[in-house]
Structures are given as C-alpha cells and as structure tokens.
Chains A and B, each alone.
Chain A
Amino acid sequence: MPTATASPTISRRALIAERQRRSLAWRVIHFLGSLKLALLLLASIAIAIATATFCESSFNSKIAQAYIYKAPWFTFWLGVLCVNLFCVTLTRWPWQRQHLGFVITHYGIITLLAGAVIGSKFGFEGNVTLHRDAPPLDRVMTSRSVVQIENPATGARTMISFDADLSRPSERRPKKIAVPDSGLTIFADGASENLVWASKLIPAAGSKNQPGIALDFETKMMGQHLSLPFVLEAKGRANARDFFGLAGIAFLAELPKREPLNIDETQIVFAKFAPVVESPSHLKTGIELLLSADGKTLTARLPDGKTATYARAEMQTKPQHLGLATFTLLEYWPDFVIENGKPGSASMLPNNPAVLVRLDAPRLPGSGVPEKPFLEIAPSPDGIVYQLGRGERLVSRGKAKIGEPFALGWADWTATLAQSLPKAEIHSDRQPGPAGTAGIPGFRARLVASDGSKSEPRWIGSGDTVTLVAGKESARLGYGLELLEVPFTIALKHFEVPRVEGTETPSNFISTVEFQDPKTGVKTQGVAQMNHPASWPGTLFSVTTGLNYKFSQAEWNPNDLGQTTLQVLYDPGWLFKWMGSLAICIGIFIMFYLRPKRS
C-alpha cells in the first residue's frame, strides 16, 4: 500500500517521533506496545496452548492446567499481553477515526481477559449431587482437593489445598504439611489413583474365638485373581458375600443339608415315535432326546436350548455330559418290538430303532430364570469341606486342603484354600489396587512428632478421615474435595430422561429443582436441562450481570433416575467477558470493513 502523504499524517508522525525522542516514558510505552513484542506473544501463546492440548491427550487435563493453562507463568504472560494491547493503543495517540476499530478490538481483548481473571479469582466451579428423596442441600462440592487437619490440642481445623494427583508425592520427593501450632508434621510420600479396600486375614487378638479362612479365586480365561477372607461370625452365623453378582459364597460352621439338584429319569427314545419318560420322583428334567432315523446318532436338547449330538456307538461305551446333565445309554434295539411283555429287537436292521437312556440331570426349574450358583464352605480338621449348587439344590460336594485348587463351575473360576486360622479376624486397609482396577485417588501419609517419633504410614483415600498416631501425639486428617456453602438451599423435585425414538439413548436430561432463600423463606423453581441451565437468583439484574449461580446438567445415574448431578458455576466476571467479546467482534468488523478510505 502506498504511504499517505497528506500533511496532517506527517505532522502526527512527527509528533509521535518527537515525544519518543524527548521522553523515556514514551520510549518504554512504545517498546511495550511494539509489534515485535506482539508477534512474540502471539507465537509463544499459540505454541504453549497447542503443547498443552497434546499434554492433555497423553496425560490428563489436570496436568495441562497445572503446568500451562493455570500456571503462574502463563497468567503472567497473559498479563504482559494485556500491557502490550494497552500500550499499542497509546502509541497511536492522538487517535483518528481510522483507529476506532483498532482501539475497540484491543480494549475488548483486555476486558475479556479481565473478566477471566475476575471469574477465576472470585468465582468458583463445583458440582452437587441431588436425590429426589433427600433433604435440601446448602453446600456444593468444588473441584479443589483439600486436606483438613484437626489440631489435637486445640481442636481447631485447618484447610490446606493439596491434590495428591497433581503434586504426586513420592518417597524421593515427599510433601510436608505442617499442622499449625503443634510442632507436628505430616509427610505425604506416595500417591495412587486407584486405592481399594484390601482385606486380609490376621490372627485374632484377645477373646475372639472365630475360625477364619482365606480363599484365592482365579480365572485364567479372564486373567483375574482375587483373594477373599472369611471369618465365622458370632453365634455361628454365616459370613456370606456376593461374588461379582455371579454367585453367592458363604462360610458356615457346618454345611447345611441340601437336596441334590439332579434327579434320575429314564427315557425310551424312538426314531419314529414319541419317547416314554419315567422318573421315580415324578419330577421332570425337561430334556428332549431325539434319535436319528437310522439309529446312529442321538441329539439332546436341554431346556435352556443347549444341544449336542452324539454317536450312539460312542454312547454305548461311556456316559456323556452336557451342562449339568449326564446321559447313560443302557440299551439299544435296532428293530424295537414288545415280545412277551418285554422289549426286544425283531431283527438287526434299523427298522424301528430305539434306545433306553438314563438321565442324571437338573430338575426342570419352575421359572425361566437361571438359578444363581452358590459355594458353601465349612471348616474341617484338615482344611475345609465345601458344597456347590444352584438355587437351593446341591450339585456337588468336596474337601480341600491348603494349596489344593478346586473348580467352581462358574465360567473357569477355581478356588484355592490359601490360609486357615482357628482364631482369626479380618483387617481392612486402603491399599493401591492392581493396575487396571477401579479405585479412588489418595496418598500415603505419615505423622512425625516434634520428638522425631513417627506413625505407621497409611493410605488415605479421597473422602476418608483417619487418625494418625506418632508416639504420644496424634492428629486427625481428612482428604477430599472442598465443600463450599451457598446462600440458598437446593432440592431435586423431578428428574426426567427422555429417549431418542425407538432406543434407550437419552435425548435430554431435565432436572426440576427447588431453590429456597433461608432468609426470606421464598421458594423458586428452576429447570436445568441440556443447554439450558437453571440459575439462582433468577432476577433480571442477576441474569444480566452474571451475579448468579448457574446449575447445568453434568452427570446422571442410569441405575437411579431419582438422582442427578449438576454442575454449579458462580462467575462474577461474566459481564466483562460478554462486553469484551462483543467489542472484539465489532472492532474487527470496523477495522476490516468500515475504515475511512484514504486518498
């Protein structure tokens, strides 16, 4: 573009050059507002935030936030950007009409960034889980992890911002947290993302007199391993537990008597006629047997639809198993006739083949629901005795000594008696789970007293409160997300999840909540659905200025439609962000398309 040669421009340029020569302050302003600095800022911020997205992709968003987006240096750099934006508008002083868009845009960015600072300094973000039947809540959970320490002497509580997931304390780099006014120090020296309750069997101290065992469960197919302790409870009550919903396990003083699941049944199966079924108990197995027309194969079909076909010749040599059923072929007649009231064969030709089969199989269950399997265990002098069954009925019995695995018949799970103690108790403790298991985040802590005595190290999970004892001193320690009080109460009235037609896929989440102001007692209703948050207070003033609490849909529980989790946001910088945004858009437009034409 050709440079303008009109005389006012020259005098303005001369003025700008002149003030730089005379004043140091103007020289600094021109340096801070220089385009070179702007280019450096643009490039470095672009590179930093691009790096952060890769960081987030390979680690997690917390790391990206801690080291870049919310790191002090990044905030400082944004501050420098604001200075640059401000100074560059000063360097153009005195402004002319052509500078209108330029000034609006650059001040718009400053306003937007100011809004962001105000929002992060004075606002907060959190969430609240509401239940339809629960009483109204007056506090919400922020996303900030804190440690709360209770001073043993004074009872005073101190809250310290600490996130084990972020600061990742380790034995080489432990994190020290001083308990105020006590001379006590807490050392965090380990972090884990998947703490689980680990239970183990230990010899009982004192008067307890209950035997206990530990069983190791293993499946090769799914590559899982699990150790479970059991202790007989007082008065011989069973120690029962559920095994992944797959089966029930109970440890008892002695095995209860159970009727066998299987019954005896005999069937004479014809290739050409309906079978004759007989059972001494008058119960039925419901199994269908079909003999091929040439009498060479026999097909069995269980009530659950499972089928298998056997060669008759092979069945005559050994019994066959299908599911829990056993088939024994007792007799074969190629050309079945009744002679003198007894069955026999008229010839060796397969004219009317028939077989007599004994079935040892489960009785036909009353309903179509498969009955849940169980394992019952009782102590015995040299190990354990156990019985396996389904529903109320027995399938098999057995004995096991320490180290002897036995099959359970639930997929390919096996159990091994790992430990057996005559007097035992179960000790539960937070421990990092094996890789891949779901657990909660937490850290390992140790209390150190002023005299140098130390407590045992303990894992503390998010939401736990523990007491650590070092020598004669002790301190109570809680870890978890910070709770923040809000100036109103909120309760869930109604939660609705409409679905996409013909599917179970949610198309929206609609929470109807009731706010109450404790001062005035006034109740107001709000609806939070996707893309439409509920807010309190809902007055025009607070909606326009953003001085309100916004509740938007965050999570739901598919198994409990009476429960919903809402995200809570309080952002006093809102108005600045909006005004800044508007200014940027308008400013750029003016700059590009409404500039006065120069001659």
Chain B
Amino acid sequence: MIRFLLALALCGAALAPAQALHFQPLETIPVQEGGRKKPYLVFAEESLLSLSGKTALTLDGRSQPAVEIITGLWLQPEKWRTQPIILINNLALKKAANLDEKRKWFSRDELAANPSFLALLQKADADRRTAKDGKLTGLDKQVDEIGARLATFESLRMGDLYRVVANPAGANSQWSTLHTDDAVLTKLRAAFAANDDAAFARAASELRASLAASSPQFQPPASKLALEVTYQKLHPFRWAWILYLLAGLTLAVTSLRARRAGYALAWLLASAGLLFQISGFVSRIVIAGRPPVSNMYESVIWVAFGAVFFSLIFEAVYRGRYFLLGASFAAVIPLLLADSQPLALNRSIQPLVPVLQSNFWLSTHVLIITLSYAAFLLALGVGHIALGKIILGRKPSAALYNYIYRTLQIGVLLLAIGTILGGVWANYSWGRFWDWDPKETWALTALLVYLFVLHGRIAGSWSGFGLAVGSVLAFQSIVMSWYGVNFVLGVGLHSYGFGSGGFVYAGTFVVAELAFTLAAILRHRSSQTPKTIPTAESAA
C-alpha cells in the first residue's frame, strides 16, 4: 500500500512540468502594505486572495501558488493582462456584463475591453454620488467590488504595491518600490524569465540581503517574519477544526461500544485542536502586537475556541461526554466558515482603527462578550443533543438538562459582565455609559432573552425541555447581535467590524434552527402524557 502511494507520488512529480522555481528566499522579505510590514509570502497570498478569492490558481493546466503569480505580476507584468485571475462570482453581474456565466475568473484585458462592464462601472461611480452615505447597493456594490479588484490588479501590474525598500526618514514613513532598472531586480527578472532556478535563488538571496542592509533600524525582526511565514503556512485554525471534528466523530461512534477508550481519544483530539488554536492566537498576538479582537474573523475563531475550552472544563468536572460532543460540532461550523470564506471573513492582520487602539477595557470587554457567545454556542450544541434525542424518540436524562443549565449560567454571567464592561469602555472611550447603540442594544436584548429563559424555569413555566428549546431559540439573538448588527443593520458606532455578505448562510441557519426546534416541540408534545409538569427548583 505504502509502496503504491510512493509510486503515485513519484509519478505525480514526474508529470509536473519542468517549471519549478523555488520562492523560499523571497518569502521572508518584508513588504510594507496595509499599514504594517509583512513577509512577502503573506503579501502575495493576501494580494492574490483579494484578486481571485483563492491563495492558489490553476493556470495553463498547472496549480500556481500565490507567491508565483504575484512574483510573475511583479517581474513580467504585461503577461498577466490576459490571464484570468480576477474573480467575478455574482451571476447577475455576469449576466449584465455579457460574461460567460460558467466562468469564475476573468482577465484584466477582457474586462477592460467589455463595453457593458465598463458602462456598469461608470454607473456605479455615478450612483455613488447620490447614494445614501455614499453606500452602494445591489448590482452597483458588486460592480464596485470588481472595480476594486481591478484597481488592485493595476497597482500590482504597475509595481506600486511592492514596497520593499525601507524609508530612512522614520519608522512610520512610507516605504518605496525598487527602481525598475535596479541591478538586482534586473537579475531576478532575467532568472525568472529564463526559468533558471539556481540563478533565481541567487538573485533573490542577493535582493533580500541588499534590502535588509538599507535602514536596518527600521527593518522588522527576522524572527517575527519567520514566525508569520510559519503561521501562514501552518493554518493552525484549519487543523483545529479537523481535530475537533475527529473528536466529535470519535465520541459519536463510541457512544455504545468502547466508551472509555473513545472518551480518552476524544479528549486527546480536542486538546490537540485547542493547542493548535492557542498557538494560532499567540502567533497573531505576537505578529500584530495586540489581542486578537479586531474583526469578525478573529471573533469567530475565538468563539469556537471558547466553546471547546468551556466544554473541556465541564468535562473535567462532570465527565458527561455531552459537553465535548456538543462543543466539537458547534466549534467546527464557525471554524469551517472562517477557513472557507476568506472573502467574507478577512483573515489578514490589519492595524487597529483609532477607536480600538491601546485599550485594556476594550480587550477585556470584547473577549468576555465573545466568550459568552462561546458559552451560548456550547449550550446550543448540548441543546441540539437533547432535542435530537427527543426527535429520535428517546428521553434525555435530567443530567443532560442540567448540563444545559450550567452552560447557560456561564453565558449569562459573562454576557452581563461583558455588556457592563462595554458600558465602562464606552464611558471611557466615547464619554458616555450607554447610548442605545445597536450593538449594545442587541447585547442587552440577548441578555434579556436568556434571562427570560432562566426566569421562566424558576417560575415553573417550563423545565429541562424548555431550557433545551430556549438554548437553541435564544441563540438566534446572539446571531443577531454578533452577525446581524454588523452585516444586516449596518448602523452604529461599532462600524469598524462592519461587512457584507453571508446573509443567505445566516438566514438559512436561523430557519433551519427554527424548523429543528419546531420538530422537537411537536415530537415532545406527542410523546407527553397529560400530566402536570413538575415545578423546578423553587427560588423561595
């Protein structure tokens, strides 16, 4: 078997075209872009991602990594005018511009020569003047996105973005590009054109050395660049979801047989996933020099982390299996989204907007609020297990209901603290404690909804089953305050996290959850014999 695989691998190597330049010497060269200095590899992957939505493309029958394409654009810009690397996903836009609807990528020249597309661009530009707050909607917005991609392409083609030469004027000054006739660049270009790997490696090393020698005091430390390259290549958050998924599957498969071994293995897998996540966070903190709380991507990752983290704590106390089972599946969804939707959830590390800068309260507030989301996500996962059991016709144990209650407690405590800390931060940063900003209001709404669920149980209006239903339904208010405020409402002071897209996903999620809960309720009704619901723990 192994021999067969080896043979296959060798075969693949033999089939690959002779073109195989090595780009490692270029990878760690610092490039100043987007308000910070990043390794060339990261610059290349982020640039290609913004052009084509991917970090590698299949061109001329061969998969080319970002670093190869972006280097090609740098050294042989004119060749790339006709290469299909600009992503157009929107069907309506393709229809309106008479583009082939089956294709996803188009070249700069075919777009520039397309009169209907140019007319759409012009219309979007004209509409911007009359649009409310200059915000475009519908087709205009889609066209504008492609316009931005074209602009990025042009800046790359003109060489404007390859800012590798340190500015001796100061640490915050803008770096410049290499002169077109720069001797080393000319060598690099020649080696690239000749596809001469040895010469290319020599020229690239020479370039790196000469760049590092200019204004060495303003060069980022080599260790930090190396760390970022490693982080970029490792994809720790991808490993995390794979391991969580395996942990969840292990628990599911061993629920009847080999329970103890399965439980131990699941612990091991989930802990390994958690370690990958922690290493990812630490890398991001070291690279950015701040807590990872600035955008949607980071909060999504953090919530998944929190759900697994809490589940492991609960497992250590209760040994209940259900926490880890619920958490591993609940954590896979956000991590998978973050991994597969790079255009909606931007993973690049960017400088903080002024309002988020250097603030202890901010970090505490955001981390605690998102940890409460994590606890509610865990409650959602455990709630699903309970409701799933009911749909399958089995009766969930009282312990399972108690687990939901324990998880909800954590969430409520953290959400209350986080929301109030938000007030403290707002008082500090914006001068007032509470101003009914949509984000604050929705955090409060979510808190009220969960308090409603908990108080209803104390009042005896519902019991364990009600908690399970509540943990699923109330999570929709978290979806609203987490995703909806930024992506649906789009107003308010928390605008630094705003984005667009994903509405269909979020909507589908909410509808599916409602349908699932309804099914469980109907099933529960039909299985209930008419008897009085036992009153839960009375608070009196």
Contact = CB atoms under 8 A, between A and B. Distances in A.
Interface in B24-47: 32-33, 35-37
Contacts, number: 162
Interface string B473-501: 00001001000010011111000000000
Contact of A46 (B355, B452, B491): B452
Contacts of B492: 56
B355 A531 contact: yes
Interface in A37-95: 38-39, 42-43, 45-46, 49-50, 52-54, 56-57, 61, 64-65, 69, 91-92
B171 interface: yes
A69 B431 contact: no
A585 B434 contact: no
A509 B438 CA distance: 25
B436 A508 contact: no
A506 B171 CA distance: 16
B36 A49 contact: no
Interface residues of B, number: 65
B163 interface: yes
B433 A588 contact: no
A125 B432 contact: yes
B175 A502 contact: yes
Nearest to B456: A39
Contact of B35 (A42, A221, A500): A500
A222 B174 contact: no
Interface stretch (A203-211, A384-392, A459-467, A569-577): A569-577
A531 B449 contact: no
Interface string B176-195: 00000000000000000000
Contacts of A502: 32-33, 35, 163, 172-175
Interface stretch (B61-69, B81-89, B295-303, B421-429): B421-429
Interface string B440-464: 0110110011011001101101000
A190 interface: no
A387 to B, nearest CB: 31
A161 B539 CA distance: 48
A35 B174 contact: no
B441 A52 contact: yes
Given A3-B538, A49-B436, A500-B351, A35 B459 contact: yes
B35 A505 contact: yes
A552 B537 CA distance: 48
A36 interface: yes
B429 A56 contact: no
A533 B427 CA distance: 9
B126 A506 contact: no
Contacts of B175: 502
A503 B537 contact: no
B158 to A, nearest CB: 15
A42 B446 CA distance: 11
Given A222-B126, A531-B428, A567-B430, A501 B35 contact: yes
B412 interface: yes
B287 interface: no
B362 interface: yes
A70 B126 CA distance: 39
A399 to B, nearest CB: 33
A505 B416 CA distance: 35
Contacts of A65: 436
Contacts of B458: 35
A530 interface: yes
A46 B470 CA distance: 15
A498 B351 CA distance: 13
A280 B430 CA distance: 69
Residue among A92, A507, A531 facing the most chain B CB atoms (10 A cut-off): A531
A498 B448 CA distance: 41
Interface string B385-427: 0000000000000000000000001001100110010011001
B35 A531 contact: no
B215 interface: no
B540 interface: yes
A49 B441 contact: yes
Contacts of B32: 501-502
B357 A530 contact: yes
A507 B538 contact: no
B455 A46 contact: no
Given A50-B441, A533-B428, 8 more contacts: A16-B540, A42-B452, A498-B172, A499-B172, A502-B163, A503-B35, A509-B354, A574-B433
Interface of A: 1, 3, 13, 16, 35-36, 38-39, 42-43, 45-46, 49-50, 52-54, 56-57, 61, 64-65, 69, 91-92, 102, 115-116, 119, 125, 221-223, 436, 498-503, 505-509, 530-533, 550-552, 567-569, 571, 574, 577-578, 581, 584-585, 588-589, 592
Interface of B: 32-33, 35-37, 126, 129-130, 163, 171-175, 351, 354-355, 357-359, 362, 409, 412-413, 416-417, 420, 423-424, 427-434, 436, 438, 441-442, 444-445, 448-449, 451-452, 455-456, 458-459, 461, 477, 480, 485, 488-492, 536-540
9 contacts: A39-B452, A43-B448, A50-B477, A50-B480, A436-B129, A501-B37, A501-B171, A501-B174, A507-B354
- Top 7 nearest A-B pairs (CB, nearest first) are A1-B537, A35-B459, A500-B35, A552-B431, A46-B448, A57-B489, A569-B431
